[in-house]
Chains A and B, each alone.
Chain A
Amino acid sequence: MIEARSLGKVFPDRTRPVVAVEDVSFQCAPGEIYGLLGANGAGKTTTMRLLATMLRPTSGTAIVGGFDVVREPEQARRCLGFLSTATALYGRLTAFEMVQYFGRLHGLTDGEIASRASDLFGRLDMNEFRDRRCEKLSTGQKQKVSITRTLIHDPPVMIFDEPTNGLDVMSARTIVAFVRECRAAGKAVIYSTHIMSEADKLCDRIGIIHGGRLLAEGTAASLKSAHGGGDLEDAFVAIVDAASC
């Protein structure tokens, strides 16, 4: 379960403070994919970082897996898996060592890590490059290692920040399939993207974010019908334009 409660983030600046996120509230239930759809600079990454406790909100809070991100950030992080194109791998570690490192940081014993890694490596067809250094892996193989890294502790909450950015079609498909598996496994999934088709296909509910504010929320179908009956892009543009006027 994820619940953002009036989340706000203001970055101090020499000239004037920058409001990155303002009064953002939403909920994501277990077994649901909640999409955060917005253009570049809309506040998606900041919101995701606030949920993942990498940034501390300047107002409001969020509950992740039952823990308050402001008061209990370490416990909140134990409940979540975070994946973005910015979450790279340690090139000098092997695929298994990378996963093992995160397993240990999550407090798993080496026995638990071995058994869980064996299952995940098998499912994702990773045994061939298990002991190869991450720097020598292809983009697709790296994505699989990242996925395993986020799943090693079997978190109830998954946060994806534009995970398919810059990836080729095949690698992007691996990610999308993985996101669906997470939903099927009953995890609460937050998925940020600026790709309309991806949000349309993947997300159960979508929140449209612009200028740091959540402008609209609903299923893809309800958003489309409420804003002219076109595709999601038309609905998105209509919502953003209405807010800008």
Chain B
Amino acid sequence: MSPVFTVYRKELKDILRDRRTIISMLVVPVVVMPIIMLLFSGVSAKLVQSALEQVPEVTLLGAEDSPRIREALASNKGLKLIPPTADYAARISNKSLRAAVELPRDFDHRIGQATETVPVKIYYYQGELRSGFAAEAIEKCLRDYRDQVLIDRLAVRGLPPDFTRPLNTTRQNVAPAEKVGGNFIGSVLPYIVILLCLTGALYPALDLTAGEKERGTMETILSSPASRTQLVLGKFFVVLTASIVTALCSLLSMTTIFLVSRGLFGLAIQGKVSLGTFTVAPGAVLAVLVLLVPLAVLFSALLLALGTFARSFKEAQSYAGPLILVAILPAVAGLLPGVEMSPGLAFIPILNLSLVSKEIFTGAFPWGYIALVFASTCLYAALALWFAARMFNRESVLFRT
């Protein structure tokens, strides 16, 4: 039996007996992440829903001499007018009032003159969901009122209602549902899977290196006839297994959750895509999984090198923090709208996978880019593995105390 396989088998058994590995490899991706996602989307959907259902309390400032506009606002079912107070701004800020609308004196009269644009000001709490909805409701009410005034003015002059609207634009989506859905899924899914690939590798990598140093077994294993390269390879394959299993488990569990709770997810991304008819091509999933393998190799090797360098598990964890951040940033950059694949970006690890996955999920298979992403990630992965092996062969690193 090859020493690499002997080390692999032992290390796998070892980490699978550790509760912390089981938590990071199986419990987090299969149970915790989906529950968090479900709760998050469920709670946010519920919040939006209840905010939409609630009639906001707003106040009207000025226009005491303008009964028509007052009546228009008061009779609007989407608004609840309450008497004005001097501290309306403070009340909006402390959320006891959603918004206020300020109209000038003689509003009705000035509108009737049709000689000027009458200014209207809406006070609201920027960034506060319910206040934003209230401001939108006021705007809609005033827009309807303005349109009615305009129609009346045109009628007085014998002109048709469309006189002031020489053209009318509408938007029509021509992309198939797969592409629209793929764009969304292709952005979000690789980000989550990349992240889980990294977190799946994190704990075993540090445990098998820095943890080994800390527990005093490093010297024991170094006295065995296995070469250091064989030892590091055995450990590396365990970390890689953990990384891929974590990513696969998370993909499976998220797909299941996704299919079960389309309604909730649909609400969370309201207006972007109807997920009811959306399907992901198995070929796209397979292609992305194949592309993920060298990335998992890259993460596993880098984390192994980092764990080997650290004196203790705690020290390794403090190094891993910035590494995770460095890995997340390109993954997040891939989520940004307008960031598209280009020959230059195809060489940036993580980001390239994120971008090419977006393309793949929309049904396009840019083979040139796919090959470039695969080849460049393989190259980085090989370099990282070489670096990890080199680190494991350095006495000054192995015996750092």
Q: Which A residues contact B (CB, under 8 angstroms)? A: 11-12, 49, 52, 54-56, 73-75, 77-78, 80-82, 84, 86-93, 97, 101-102, 104-107, 149
* Contacts of B384-401 to chain A: CB distance below 8 A: 395-396, 398-399
A77/B220 in contact, CB under 8 A = no
A92/B14 in contact, CB under 8 A = yes
CA distance A82 to B396 in the complex (A): 20
CA distance A86 to B215 in the complex (A): 9
| Given known A-B contacts A84-B219, A105-B6, A92 and B18 have beta carbons under 8 A apart | yes
A101/B10 in contact, CB under 8 A = yes
Can you name 24 A-B pairs with beta carbons within 8 Å?
A52-B222, A52-B223, A54-B222, A54-B399, A55-B395, A56-B395, A73-B227, A74-B227, A75-B225, A81-B223, A84-B219, A86-B219, A88-B215, A88-B216, A88-B217, A88-B219, A88-B220, A89-B217, A89-B220, A90-B14, A92-B17, A101-B6, A105-B226, A149-B220
B232 to chain A, nearest CB (A): 14
CA distance A82 to B218 in the complex (A): 13
Is the C-beta of B1 less than 8 angstroms from some C-beta in chain A? yes
Contact of B225 among A11, A93, A107 (CB under 8 A): A107
CA distance A104 to B3 in the complex (A): 8
Q: Which B residues contact A (CB, under 8 angstroms)? A: 1, 3, 6-7, 10, 13-14, 17-18, 215-217, 219-220, 222-227, 395-396, 398-399
A49-B399, A56-B395 given; 16 more Cβ-contact pairs under 8 Å: A52-B222, A52-B223, A54-B219, A73-B227, A74-B226, A74-B227, A82-B223, A88-B219, A88-B220, A90-B14, A91-B215, A92-B14, A93-B14, A104-B6, A105-B3, A105-B224
Contact of B220 among A73, A80, A87 (CB under 8 A): A87
A90/B217 in contact, CB under 8 A = yes
B225/A77 in contact, CB under 8 A = yes
B139 to chain A, nearest CB (A): 64
Residues of A within 8 A of B398 (CB): 54
CA distance A88 to B223 in the complex (A): 12
A93/B224 in contact, CB under 8 A = no
Which residue of chain A has its CB nearest to the CB of B18? Answer: A92
CA distance A101 to B222 in the complex (A): 13
CA distance A208 to B351 in the complex (A): 60
Residues of A within 8 A of B225 (CB): 74-75, 77-78, 105-107
- Of all A-B residue pairs in the complex, the 7 with the closest CB atoms, nearest first, are A88-B216, A82-B223, A87-B220, A105-B224, A92-B17, A77-B225, A78-B225
A196 to chain B, nearest CB (A): 25
Residues of B within 8 A of A77 (CB): 223-225
A172 to chain B, nearest CB (A): 18
A75 to chain B, nearest CB (A): 8
Residues of A within 8 A of B217 (CB): 87-90
Residues of B within 8 A of A89 (CB): 217, 220
A87/B216 in contact, CB under 8 A = yes
Residues of B within 8 A of A75 (CB): 225
